Structure 1
């Protein structure tokens, strides 16, 4: 791979790092934001909703409308919007303006990640495409696991706006580098918006998206309830929940980076099948391990984090392959990211209903494992064989 292409991929990954921070840091800033704007916790939580809804619903539309010969420009503009929205968030004079800017940040983030993954896959030789996508997903995972605690620590010392400034600074660094160094991206064939709509009927594409959705409901949905799950451990007091979150996240970083070479050397459909089966095993073994001793739960949690994050590398690679001839691979990736956010929301809502129904907390892990197994079955019976 040429040096310029490798540099561009790492610059895109730096932008993904800042995106990972922005996606998850707001939840940790809620106590500081409620004090700054004199709003309730429930109201402040709508900042997360604004970001995720804009990310999941609006960004695929924006990607669909982008001309095939404007991929580089679209990537730069999306990242610029993300940076500006984070700067404006730090300067927001009212809570309503803050909500609006978080929504715009979500649009920029969603479009940037979809175009960034597509650009990385285009810049890398086909034999190294999985590794290139893994670098981007690893950057996002690192931003979530390493960047979020760092920005929250900074916010505790300097105020919540400092977290937004840090995100904007990292994004601006990536933006400057990409503006100067990102080569032209080969234009995709022109495809009108009307001709892009059949992507929602393409069997192989729908299968990939369905597996991603089931994986997200199982993995990200269960992640929402790590704290209450471990608090209800029958084996006694648990250590700080932060330890479990860190182990999950570190597993995610390792899984994101290590899966790339495997995808490049193996049949992608089999890799996805193995990942979904390992996800099901890790989740079903979580209640057993936690019941024996809280420390034993770290083993399935680390595996769960690794395979949960690793899943999107072969999935995005597969989408780029099956949609390449149609010229809408970036739209497929954007839809895949939407599936992740939708799956996270469905998992969190379903888990909340289970807990409110006074069901035992271990039911959450068992249900998540069943959904992962269902995803494995979908992959086995309907998954594309060409990737």
Structure 2
């Protein structure tokens, strides 16, 4: 695997830490800027919306840029807005930096995915995707807890400074490791042609499967704290352990999927989705049993990110003529799930259905994902059958 692919994973680690670290910093931000906790929570929403909207827009804007230049430009903007955010005393400015940072992150993601795939050998495409996505899982295991610890020691601004500082060596490494574009590397296909490619039904259904799968993942993940403290019976000190366990499973799942998905992507996706649906239901049923709950948290983290990584690779396979925009749509689908899933879990909790309700909601979302995948599989079979029939020799008379 080229070293530059690992450098892309490092940059994604820094940006993933920024995306998720606010969960441990909201109280400090609210107190420091004299805003309500719900207003501070909008900083997370602004980032999610910026990722969903920004992914296709930034990809369209940068689709003809040399890839190294695009990566460095997006990362420079990301560093700049974190420096501004760390220094500002105005809530409106901080909210704007979160939105702009999300736009830069979305653009970086889209270009990073296609760059990693272009540098990897054909039989290592899923593994290259796994290395990039692995940056997010490492952020969950290491970056987010570290950000929360920094916030507790030196205030929330120190976490913003840390993200900016970690991004600087990533930018230097990108400059050195990612090769400059040669003539012909920049796509010459028109934006209209790429968008037409992205309108293919099979691709749209795959993106819907991605969004539903990620919605299930983040629905349960967002409400693990009340589940393990109110149902499983763990004390508050166990919450970071449980979250880190989910992150460790995610990293293991991404790594394993990267090694298996190039050879058998259909098996990884099909078995992974089925196991996820059953696993969320099992967690909801056995949440009161500590050993079972811990084992399932680890397993579900592995299944969720392993399956999600393979789905990203499938999106690129279905849109070979629109790699940058395909990456942006995959990023948008990922973040639609990350935004909608927790909202649905919160609605289930708000309806008084109990602390297991978000996990049951995840099981339902995975059921919907399996149903869409079934439609996709049936439509693919319908397309292939006439071709098979035409190859069949005519009967002898």
Question: Which is further off, 237-246 or 91-100?
Answer: 237-246
Measured after TM superposition, the shift of residue 111 of structure 1 is 0.8
Measured after TM superposition, the shift of residue 345 of structure 1 is 2.0
Of 261, 279, 284, 1:282 maps to: 279
Query: Rg larger in 1 or in 2?
Result: 2
Of 173, 178, 188, 1:177 maps to: 173
Give the equivalent residue in structure 1 for 2:86.
Answer: 90
**Distance in 2 of aligned mates of 1:156 and 1:134:** 32
Measured after TM superposition, the shift of residue 110 of structure 1 is 1.0
Measured after TM superposition, the shift of residue 229 of structure 1 is 2.4
Q: Does 1:155 align with 2:126?
A: no
Give the equivalent residue in structure 1 for 2:391.
Answer: none
Measured after TM superposition, the shift of residue 185 of structure 1 is 4.4
**Distance in 2 of aligned mates of 1:238 and 1:26:** 22
TM-score normalised by L of structure 2: 0.89
Give the paired residue count.
377
Change beyond 3 A, Cα 1:287–1:76: same
Measured after TM superposition, the shift of residue 42 of structure 1 is 1.1
TM-score normalised by L of structure 1: 0.92
**Distance in 2 of aligned mates of 1:46 and 1:355:** 20
Give the equivalent residue in structure 2 for 1:229.
Answer: 227
Q: Which runs of 4+ in 1 moved over 6 A?
A: none
Give the equivalent residue in structure 2 for 1:23.
Answer: 19
Of 254, 257, 262, 1:259 maps to: 257
Give the equivalent residue in structure 1 for 2:395.
Answer: none
Aligned pairs (5 A) from 1:95-114: 95-114=91-110
Measured after TM superposition, the shift of residue 188 of structure 1 is 4.5
**Distance in 2 of aligned mates of 1:43 and 1:307:** 34
**Deviations 1:281-308, CA, capped at 9 Å, x for gaps:** 21010022223x2232011111111111
Aligned partners of 1:269 and 1:379 also within 8 Å: no
Aligned partners of 2:82 and 2:97 also within 8 Å: yes
Aligned pairs (5 A) from 1:1-387: 1=1, 6-185=2-181, 187-233=185-231, 236=233, 240-266=238-264, 268-291=265-288, 293-324=289-320, 326=321, 328-383=322-377
Change beyond 3 A, Cα 1:67–1:296: closer
Aligned partners of 1:259 and 1:310 also within 8 Å: yes
Aligned partners of 2:213 and 2:304 also within 8 Å: yes
**Distance in 2 of aligned mates of 1:312 and 1:117:** 14
Aligned partners of 1:211 and 1:375 also within 8 Å: yes
**Distance in 1 of aligned mates of 2:363 and 2:278:** 7
**Deviations 1:135-183, CA, capped at 9 Å, x for gaps:** 1111121012211111221222122111111111111111111112210
- Name structure 1 gaps, 5 residues minimum: none
Q: How well do the aligned residues superpose, as a CA RMSD in angstroms?
A: 2.0
Change beyond 3 A, Cα 1:67–1:370: closer
**Distance in 2 of aligned mates of 1:250 and 1:192:** 41
Aligned partners of 1:207 and 1:378 also within 8 Å: yes
**Distance in 1 of aligned mates of 2:215 and 2:349:** 16
Task: Give the match's secondary structure for 1:34.
Answer: helix
**Distance in 1 of aligned mates of 2:346 and 2:188:** 44
Measured after TM superposition, the shift of residue 236 of structure 1 is 4.7
